[in-house]
Chains A and B, each alone.
Chain A
């Protein structure tokens, strides 16, 4: 699975981090970091993260 976050849209809300902590995290400065090719077993989590992103910045490209 391939995950892309549109960093122009992302406003570091961190909602994705609650939904999929294995894939998304906030660094010490509070900025988003993420794994761009997570294991397929994490698909449900990542879909949930994409749903709850207020800026709708997360795209899953299969």
Chain B
């Protein structure tokens, strides 16, 4: 097979796409373009063991499969524009790359708070450089930390900061409980209690109005006017899709890249999207396209998208069942783990304790029309294994229809 596939984004999604293209029989050229200076590395430890200093930064690198030995890596290079009709992308050094197939794997970047105040001392956690910078500041003696946003990254960073022995950690969120959006009230309440018992403070039900300080942040001003003193601020308030470079091609970029059931973008059979950036319908559920920011998704999407793309470029029809992954997610906080299988978010109206109790290890089930669509375990190792027991059951459930 001749021709070239360009993979935009050199992180987990990009690496898995390159590997899976080879596995799907593509023998043509593959060029992966990524704006970070590193080969693909694993992000979850950035807010956990690596931030804690328990694992070295070097331990994060993925080991690419031997099948990708001839892949060309253009690192430290950013794609600034694409012309899908001409099958060309433009790089920030002014050069252009033409392609036969395109894989969109540009992921997300942290959303930033726009309220007034100095920028220095305010961090996000997405890249190696981010985690290195934050670790340097958290390990200074007597540090007071304010984490803005009680989602999973905020909760993990708060837990890691406590473990590092910082003087004070406060998590701020306009919602009344941590991670209440994805988990629902019962597990979120249990999560709050666990964090508080381990020394994390919370300012919930209040937003951030601004930051105090001249050349560097010294405090976080809350919506009610009160001020939390802070030496370090971590902003974990969600993420924004890196899709600006795809503008002007008639794609739906309202939240990531909208794809069809085979991960193709905008009716272009030669352009697929993988990983965090892909907004795909999941045939296992209601068919509503959603982005899923779980670590399992780059691998799952890459496998399906690579088969779709390789079949198209080989001139064949796509003979795959519609994409229907079982979302899998975990988060390590303090000494406990949150383990999720399926789509809890779809079953928030009907949440039941399946095993245990909220004070200890607990397993929670999420239902739609009486049917289990997701499970979340909170607790020690045994709790996570309890959730795993439901995995096969979730896999066997018939598809939900819209």
Task: Please name the residue on chain B nearest to A58 by beta carbon.
Answer: B63
Of A9, A26, A47, A54, the contact of B330 (CB 8 Å cutoff) = A54
Interface size on A, residues (CB 8 A): 16
Q: Is the CB of A51 within 8 A of B16?
A: yes
B334 within 8 A of A: no
Tell me the bound Cα distance from A59 to B400 in angstroms.
37
Of B62, B63, B295, B385, the contact of A26 (CB 8 Å cutoff) = B385
| Inter-chain contacts of B44 with A (CB < 8 A) | 54
| Inter-chain contacts of A47 with B (CB < 8 A) | 65
Known: A30-B382, A54-B295. A15 touches B328 (CB 8 A): yes
Closest Cβ of chain A to B40, distance in Å, is 11
Tell me the bound Cα distance from A14 to B65 in angstroms.
22
Q: Is the CB of A12 within 8 A of B381?
A: yes
Closest Cβ of chain A to B284, distance in Å, is 16
Closest Cβ of chain A to B50, distance in Å, is 12
| Inter-chain contacts of B55 with A (CB < 8 A) | 9
Q: Is the CB of A14 within 8 A of B385?
A: yes
Q: Is the CB of B63 within 8 A of A56?
A: yes
Q: Is the CB of A56 within 8 A of B295?
A: no
Of A14, A55, A56, the contact of B388 (CB 8 Å cutoff) = A14
Scan residues 8-62 of chain A and give those whose CB is less than 8 A from a CB of chain B: 9, 11-15, 18, 26, 30, 47, 51-52, 54-56, 59
Task: Please name the residue on chain A nearest to B59 by beta carbon.
Answer: A9
Known: A9-B59, A14-B388. A56 touches B382 (CB 8 A): no
| Inter-chain contacts of A52 with B (CB < 8 A) | 296, 299
**Chain A, interface SS category:** loop
Tell me the bound Cα distance from A30 to B380 in angstroms.
11
| Inter-chain contacts of A30 with B (CB < 8 A) | 381-382, 385
Could you mark each residue 25-59 of chain B with 1 if its beta carbon is under 8 Å from any beta carbon of chain A, else 0? Answer: 00000000000000000101100000000010001
- Which has the most chain B C-beta neighbours within 10 Å: A9, A51, A54, A59? A51
Tell me the bound Cα distance from A26 to B388 in angstroms.
12
How many B residues touch the partner, as a band?
A: 20 to 34
B391 within 8 A of A: yes
Scan residues 37-93 of chain B and give those whose CB is less than 8 A from a CB of chain A: 42, 44-45, 55, 59, 62-63, 65
Tell me the bound Cα distance from A55 to B41 in angstroms.
11
Closest Cβ of chain A to B298, distance in Å, is 10
| Inter-chain contacts of A12 with B (CB < 8 A) | 381
Known: A13-B330, A14-B388. A51 touches B382 (CB 8 A): no
| Inter-chain contacts of B59 with A (CB < 8 A) | 9
Task: Please name the residue on chain B nearest to A59 by beta carbon.
Answer: B63
Task: Please name the residue on chain A nearest to B66 by beta carbon.
Answer: A62
Task: Please name the residue on chain A nearest to B387 by beta carbon.
Answer: A14
Tell me the bound Cα distance from A26 to B385 in angstroms.
10
Closest Cβ of chain B to A13, distance in Å, is 7
Tell me the bound Cα distance from A8 to B391 in angstroms.
26
Task: Please name the residue on chain A nearest to B45 by beta carbon.
Answer: A55
Closest Cβ of chain B to A25, distance in Å, is 12
Task: Please name the residue on chain B nearest to A11 by beta carbon.
Answer: B332
Scan residues 280-300 of chain B and give those whose CB is less than 8 A from a CB of chain A: 295-296, 299
Tell me the bound Cα distance from A56 to B42 in angstroms.
8
Task: Please name the residue on chain B nearest to A44 by beta carbon.
Answer: B23
Tell me the bound Cα distance from A14 to B45 in angstroms.
17
Tell me the bound Cα distance from A12 to B328 in angstroms.
15
Could you mark each residue 318-349 of chain B with 1 if its beta carbon is under 8 Å from any beta carbon of chain A, else 0? Answer: 00000000001010100000000000000000
Task: Please name the residue on chain B nearest to A6 by beta carbon.
Answer: B59
| Inter-chain contacts of A11 with B (CB < 8 A) | 332
| Inter-chain contacts of A9 with B (CB < 8 A) | 55, 59
Mind listing 16 A-B residue pairs with CB under 8 Å? A9-B55, A9-B59, A13-B384, A14-B384, A15-B328, A18-B388, A18-B391, A30-B382, A30-B385, A47-B65, A51-B299, A54-B42, A54-B44, A54-B295, A55-B45, A56-B62
Using A13-B384, A47-B65 as known contacts, list a sample of 10 further A-B pairs with CB atoms less than 8 Å apart, ordered by residue number in A. Answer: A9-B55, A9-B59, A11-B332, A12-B381, A18-B391, A30-B382, A54-B295, A54-B330, A56-B62, A56-B63
Closest 5 CB pairs of A and B: A30-B381, A51-B299, A30-B385, A56-B42, A14-B388
